[in-house]
Amino acid sequence: MTSKEIPLRILFVTPASAPMPFVRREAQALRAAGHAVEIFGFDNASYLPWRVAAQVFRLRAAVRRFRPDVVHAQFGKFNALAAALAAGRVPLVVTFRGTDINRNSRYSTLRSALGVAASQIAALAARAVVCVSHEIQSKIWKRRDCTVIPTGVDVRTFVPGDRATARRRLGFGAHERIVLFNAGRNPAVKDPQLAAAAVAEARRHARDLRFVVLEGDVAPDDIPLYMNAADVLLVTSRTEGSPTVVQEAMACNLPVVSVDVGDVRERLTGVSHCAVVSRDPAALGAALAQVLRARRRSDGRAHAEALSLEAIAARLAQIYRSVARDAAASGARNVPIGALPPD
């Protein structure tokens, strides 16, 4: 932000009361740039109309109190639709991250379809739409007006470290060959069965292989330690947008073997000791074995610098200023899909 630019007031709207770690980091980067950011947690536990309505009124109260220049829904579905309904004349930006525009196997067909429909309606209501990958952009009805901005990575937290030290702290053997897999909080989407099959194939070629699965209860601050201890990150997700774990691995110079999902191929283009292969256990296992035999780090950090939180925050700030100027010039309401109660 230049000395002539006035700091912005930005209201993030995120699913649940505890925002996702990368959203918190994005907010911190914007604050570090001088902007005021407040985070509203949307309770997405139920799609019952009266519960969604209650969330809309809570959010509307937050808009009145905080008086933001921009409301930024950091996820689609009813999270974004509620933001559209509550924003009033405040310009809305929506970021789509993958599971909010793809069908989700965690939920019933009806609930998944309702969520995707809510995402598309919110996109139509927004003044700007951000997609974390070109694949996600291709699924948005309003795709011509989308800006593709990958998920940012905290390059100050995710840094290359000493492998031996990391392994001692985690209790891993010095000579083990460690394959890291992030199951997260939604393991069905990550396809752990394919990952296990790929590791079984790799074991035919690599001795002393250890398969380390990160569950959703691993503290975010511990992830860099695991990445510096590991030899390779394995990604087998069925769907993704711009998987944060890949950018984080790049920042730690951890090689990545992945299926072609989300923006992974684009992110790993030109990165050494990485591979993007088909959803086939034999192909994945062979790629893992090749990386494990080499026992070398990647040069991912040189590529990840362009994805730093500071760089992403600067791009978002440009979008915020643009939509705020347009809204002020037009005086138009942000939401064309229904009248709101008067203030």
d(CA 167, CA 310): 30
Query: What's the rounded Cα separation, in Å, for the pair 313 and 150?
Result: 11
Identify which of 127, 128, 145, 62 has the alpha carbon closest to the alpha carbon of residue 332.
127
Summarised one tens digit per residue, pLDDT across range 152-204 is: 899 999 999 999 999 999 999 999 999 999 998 778 889 999 999 999 999 99
Q: Is the pLDDT of residue 46 over 70?
A: no
Query: Residue 293 has which token pair?
Result: 């035999």
List, for residues 212-270, the tens digit of each pLDDT value: 999 888 888 899 999 999 999 999 999 888 899 999 999 999 999 999 998 999 999 99
The CA–CA distances, whole Å, from 216 to 98, 119, 172, 186, 338 equal 18, 25, 20, 8, 38
DSSP conformation class of 76: -
Helix axes 109-125, 77-87, angle to 10 degrees: 40
CA dist 76 and 94 (Å) reads 7
Average the pLDDT over 128-145 and give the result.
87
pLDDT over 70 (residue 334): no
What is the largest distance, in Å, between two alpha-carbon atoms of the chain? Answer: 68
Q: Which helix (H) or strand (E) holds 259?
A: strand 256-259
Domain ranges of the chain: 9-152+308-330, 163-304
CATH number assigned to the domain with residue range 163-304, chosen from the 4 options 3.40.640.10, 3.30.470.10, 3.40.50.12780, 3.40.50.2000: 3.40.50.2000
Single pTM value for the model = 0.84
Examine the pLDDT at 68 and tell me if it is beyond 90. Answer: yes
Assigned fold of 9-152+308-330: Rossmann fold (3.40.50)
Mind listing the pLDDT tens digit for each residue in 2-39? 546 789 999 999 987 555 788 899 999 999 999 999 99
Range of weakest confidence among 44-48, 116-120, 121-125, 129-133? 44-48
pLDDT at 186: 78
Q: What is the mean pLDDT of residues 45-53?
A: 75
What is the chain's mean pLDDT, rounded? 89
Q: What per-residue confidence (pLDDT) applies to 227?
A: 98
In this structure, what token pair is assigned to residue 51?
């519960």
Q: What is the pLDDT of residue 341?
A: 37
**9-152+308-330 and 163-304, same CATH topology:** yes
Lowest mean per-residue pLDDT among 44-48, 116-120, 273-277, 279-283: 44-48
Convert the pLDDT of each residue in 95-110 to its tens digit: 998 778 776 666 677 7
Tokens standing for residue 264? 């992974």
- For residues 54-79, average pLDDT: 93
